[in-house]
Chain A
Amino acid sequence: MDWGLFLNTAWKGGLKLALIVFFILVPLMIILELMRQTKALGWLTERVHPVTGRIGFQKEALIPLLAGFLFGISYGAGVLIPEARSQSISKRQIFLVAVFLAICHAMIEDTLLFMAVGANGLYLFSSRLILALVITYLTSRLIYRFRLKGLTDA
């Protein structure tokens, strides 16, 4: 094993990763904060809630859900972890967000990436979205009916 090459790749790649996270996450958080403190988020929430409410999401779960759906799990979590700590969102809601995002996240980037090598974008997008909706719905029914605590707690 070539240690020199490994160390070189590792620190350069690590720095690049940190920079990418910084330049996506900070503007994202500024936009979210602007939306949160103005009427924009309330407006959006009212529009999306009829759908997301039906599969078990409460309104406070929508911001991390949307962030993850569009930009990816890391950025969704970047939004969600601080909110989870401020306890404005319940454990079950966090678990549901995690389940939904596990299957369906970074829908812009991933879809474009695979379309570039020849995958059918329509199949790719719709199958992930439908699966996530169905599985989240089933999970929410399960955890609210049977109170499956062991499933959700870390």
Chain B
Amino acid sequence: MTGSSESLATQSSLALRLKSRIKSRYGKITVDGFFKGLEAFWLLVKIMLPVYFIITFLKFTFILEALARFFSPYMQIFGLPGGAALAIVLGNTVNLYAAIAVIASLKMSSPQVTILAVMLAVSHSLPMEITITQKMRTKYVTILFLRLSVSALVGMALKQILL
């Protein structure tokens, strides 16, 4: 199984030199894993940091709040209070931690919290995660559409079941 997954990192001269010094088989594998980890780390950081900076910038502007105000009347589709719109907007753009902070400040029944949680669990951190899935050579529109529509549909379905 090793042949198919050789990467550039594990064949670098540093990795090869380290491996030649280590006698134990597991030691050699650990070196392989470490260099693969470095390669994957660099790959991810190059994608994640720019997106992170843009999203942090957005957080400092009024854009996200305006979006939340626009969406708040539609929250009753999911049986949620208008304030939940801010959790959904922040969760989908920034990350789940931003949404959790909003949820904690809202007064909702426990079925409502569950509905909002499932919706956010399906669709969140879209700029970051969509950019990453795109690097897997997958069309981002497809995944974006999938996540948003499944999130909305599951919200409506759970409203019928839970409320």
With an 8 Å Cβ cutoff, the count of chain A residues facing the other chain is 69
B38 near A26 with CB under 8 A, answer yes
A5 near B60 with CB under 8 A, answer yes
| B66-74, B75-83, B109-117: which lies at the interface | B109-117
The reply to whether the CB of B20 lies closer than 8 angstroms to some CB of chain A is no
The reply to whether the CB of B19 lies closer than 8 angstroms to some CB of chain A is no
Q: How far is the CA of A79 from the CA of B135 in the complex (A)?
A: 12
Question: Closest residue to A37 on the B side, CB-wise?
Answer: B29
Main secondary structure of the interface of A (DSSP, over half): helix
The smallest C-beta distance from B160 to any residue of chain A, in angstroms, reads 13
Give the A-B pair count, Cβ closer than 8 A. 191
B132 near A10 with CB under 8 A, answer no
The smallest C-beta distance from B54 to any residue of chain A, in angstroms, reads 10
A135 near B135 with CB under 8 A, answer no
A13 near B52 with CB under 8 A, answer yes
8 A Cβ contacts from A72-113 to B: 73-74, 77-84, 86, 88, 91, 94-95, 97-99, 101-103, 110-111, 113
The reply to whether the CB of B156 lies closer than 8 angstroms to some CB of chain A is no
Binary A-proximity of B124-161 (CB < 8 A = 1, otherwise 0)? 00001100111111111011001100100010001000
Q: How far is the CA of A13 from the CA of B52 in the complex (A)?
A: 8
Complex contacts, A97 vs chain B, CB 8 Å: 136
Contact of A102 among B43, B103, B146 (CB under 8 A): B146
Q: How far is the CA of A111 from the CA of B37 in the complex (A)?
A: 26
Q: A37-B2, A81-B135, A124-B118 are in contact. Are A151 and B36 (CB under 8 A)?
A: no
